[in-house]
Amino acid sequence: MTPPHLITSIITVFWIKGVYLSNDKPVFQTPADLLIKPDGEFNLSLKHEIPNYDTILWYQRSAGDSSLKLIGYVYYKTLNIEPKFLSRFNVSGNGEKTAFLQIKNLNHSEDSGEYFGAASVCLGLDVRQSPSDLVTNPAGISLGVQVHQSPSALIRKAGNSVQLVCTHGQTDYRVMLWYQQSPTDQALKLIGYVDYSQIIYEIFSKEYFNITGDLSGNKAKNGSLFIVDLIESEHSAVYYCAAREAH
């Protein structure tokens, strides 16, 4: 889905053709023209001067395919590349100013096509597991239990809903906690948690978050955090999942 307030410029890259640039908005993509041979490399850059625009995204539209495929994006200085493009593309830069797209080896037929650079006000959710409150025994020693979250990173526009999933295989860990860390605050804020099958919310979180899960029984555990109605300034954050024994 195309993010809101999206300003785009278009580059067409062919193995033997050139590139054209559309910059009727204050978004500047370079180079304006280039010629690439098979197995060659090239770099594209996009610069904008739009206050409050924090994300630059790169899309590909292959020849013969009308769909846009997200290659990756830069949210502030956080980089994300879609898994299928990791071996052939690099993304770098700062979403507030300038970002770069590098194609390492132009030898795939699907890489002949149009490349879109977009500057946007976007909601970026960087989802990772907590490094400090993951899975520990009462003495605080890590048990090495793997807690998995998905998706690993995503971008959604304001007003959308999001589901984050957390799973682990430690059957006697029947508490699952969800935390939020905003870009401007290093503190982890507890959203709520599941204790066996009981759901407990912090006061601030009831309106926008929905936690689900049943951690009873002797089986692998899983739970979800739903963000019901994304609000850019409040919900653009890193979200952490943690698991522990019930007290």
| Pair 90, 152 in one domain | no
* Average pLDDT of span 106-114: 71
Tell the residue number behind the tokens 């998905």, with chain if given.
150
Instruction: Decide which of 6 and 115 is more confident.
Output: 115
Q: What is the pLDDT of residue 170?
A: 82
| Pair 150, 106 in one domain | no
**Does a structural domain hold residue 181?**
yes
- Out of 62, 87, 121, pick the residue that ends a domain: 121
Q: Is the model's pLDDT at 115 over the cut of 90?
A: no
Q: Which of 79-93, 112-126, 228-242 has the highest mean pLDDT?
A: 79-93
| Pair 176, 83 in one domain | no
Q: What is the pLDDT of residue 137?
A: 32
Q: What is the pLDDT of residue 154?
A: 62
- Out of 58, 89, 121, pick the residue that ends a domain: 121
| Pair 14, 104 in one domain | yes
| Pair 178, 217 in one domain | yes
Strand ranges inside 94-237, DSSP E:
98-103, 113-120, 123-127, 147-150, 153-156, 162-168, 175-181, 189-195, 198-201, 209-213, 221-227
pLDDT per residue as tens digits for the range 189-233: 888 899 999 999 988 788 889 999 988 888 888 899 988 877 756
Q: What is the pLDDT of residue 38?
A: 61
- The SS3 of residue 60 is strand
Q: What pTM did the predictor assign? A: 0.46
Sequence-ordered alpha helix ranges (H) in the chain: 232-235
> Please, which pLDDT band fits residue 1 given cuts at 50, 70 and 90?
very low
pLDDT per residue as tens digits for the range 146-174: 555 566 556 666 777 888 888 888 888 88
| Pair 141, 117 in one domain | no
* C-alpha–C-alpha distance, residues 119 and 95, integer Å: 8
| Pair 135, 117 in one domain | no
Residue type, 101: L
Longest dimension (CA), the chain: 66
pLDDT per residue as tens digits for the range 70-100: 788 888 888 888 888 888 899 999 988 899 9
Tell me, what CATH number does 190's domain have? 2.60.40.10
Domain of 155?
125-244
- Out of 121, 155, 178, pick the residue that ends a domain: 121
How many domains does the structure of the chain reveal?
Answer: 2
| Pair 147, 94 in one domain | no
**Does a structural domain hold residue 2?**
no
* C-alpha–C-alpha distance, residues 162 and 76, integer Å: 21
| Pair 216, 141 in one domain | yes
Asked which of 47-56, 134-143, 178-187 is least confident by mean pLDDT, the reply is: 134-143
